């Protein structure tokens, strides 16, 4: 069996904020390989550097030392056009705060991606694709609902559907259960597991919750910007 492709390769990444006497190092020489089909969590308390690392991977922060390759692309060196193309073709983002537009219905929120250059969805097929992914996350009956009429769990499912709209190979999730109760959070994690197992989507989940990290194939713990442990007990052999 062939070895899975490396979809994220982080080599000696360090990150600083400020300058002079106020300069603060928030990531210290981080090295991580993530392969296609992995379901990985990065765990740590507030201030451990988790979100900073995710922002670097997603190209939201490109001022750092070291190298971050996503799908073979050196993120730091991509111009804005190529970075936008990589995001459209490879990445989906899911955040703790659902970031839905209150004046748009569920399907309209999901189809927002179609308004950005480089979308994979043909013009005129936006509603069909939005409906398809909303059904996939269990919201067939909420396609025309507005966010004000949705529960927290339903809002997060809309956000997940939006992330799936452009058929990404990699989902970057920042505290996706942070605003949800335990039961709803478990339902979201079950959905992530299904996307990983059935659709072969690679997932990287940033979390401070043990209940989340225990469900992933590999858990990487950060403390004060350093990797202090890696739990690979559930990881597939590469």
| 8 A C-beta contact, residue 161 and residue 82 | no
- Give 37-96 pLDDT, tens digit per residue: 999 999 998 889 999 999 999 999 989 999 999 999 999 999 988 888 888 889 999 988
| 8 A C-beta contact, residue 11 and residue 34 | no
Residue 204 has φ and ψ, to the nearest 5°, of -120, 115
* pLDDT at residue 123, as a whole number: 60
HSE at residue 231, side-chain half, CA atoms within 13 A, is 13
Report the C-alpha gap between 186 and 97 in whole angstroms: 17
| 8 A C-beta contact, residue 34 and residue 6 | yes
For CA atoms 139, 142, 143, 148, the dihedral sign is negative
The secondary structure of 47-98 as a DSSP string is TSSHHHHHHHHTTS----EEEEEETTEEGGG--HHHHHHHHHHHEEEE-SS-
Low-confidence ranges of the chain (pLDDT < 70): 1-2, 115-123, 233-238
* pLDDT at residue 122, as a whole number: 62
* pLDDT at residue 56, as a whole number: 95
Share of the chain above pLDDT 70, in %: 92
* pLDDT at residue 179, as a whole number: 85
pTM attached to this predicted model: 0.89
């Amino acid at each position: 069996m062939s070895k899975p492709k490396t979809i994220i390769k982080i080599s000696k990444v360090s990150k600083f904020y400020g300058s002079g006497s106020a300069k603060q190092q928030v990531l210290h020489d981080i090295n991580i390989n993530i392969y296609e089909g992995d379901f990985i969590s990065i765990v740590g308390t507030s201030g451990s550097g988790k979100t900073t690392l995710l922002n670097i991977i997603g190209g939201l922060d490109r001022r750092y030392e070291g190298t971050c390759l996503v799908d073979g692309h050196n993120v730091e060196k991509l111009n804005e056009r190529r970075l936008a193309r990589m995001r459209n073709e490879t990445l989906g983002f899911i955040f703790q705060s659902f970031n839905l537009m209150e004046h748009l219905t569920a399907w309209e929120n999901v189809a927002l991606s179609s308004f950005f250059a480089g979308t994979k969805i043909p013009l005129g097929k936006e509603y069909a694709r939005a409906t398809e992914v909303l059904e996939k996350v269990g919201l067939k009956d909420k396609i025309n609902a507005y966010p004000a009429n949705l529960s927290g769990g339903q809002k997060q499912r809309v956000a997940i559907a939006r992330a799936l709209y452009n058929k990404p190979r990699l989902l970057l999730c920042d505290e996706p259960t942070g605003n949800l109760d335990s039961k709803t959070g478990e339902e979201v994690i079950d959905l992530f597991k299904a996307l990983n197992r059935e659709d072969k989507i690679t997932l990287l989940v940033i979390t401070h919750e043990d209940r989340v990290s225990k469900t992933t194939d590999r858990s990487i713990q950060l403390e004060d910007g350093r990797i202090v442990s890696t739990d690979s007990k559930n990881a597939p052999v590469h």
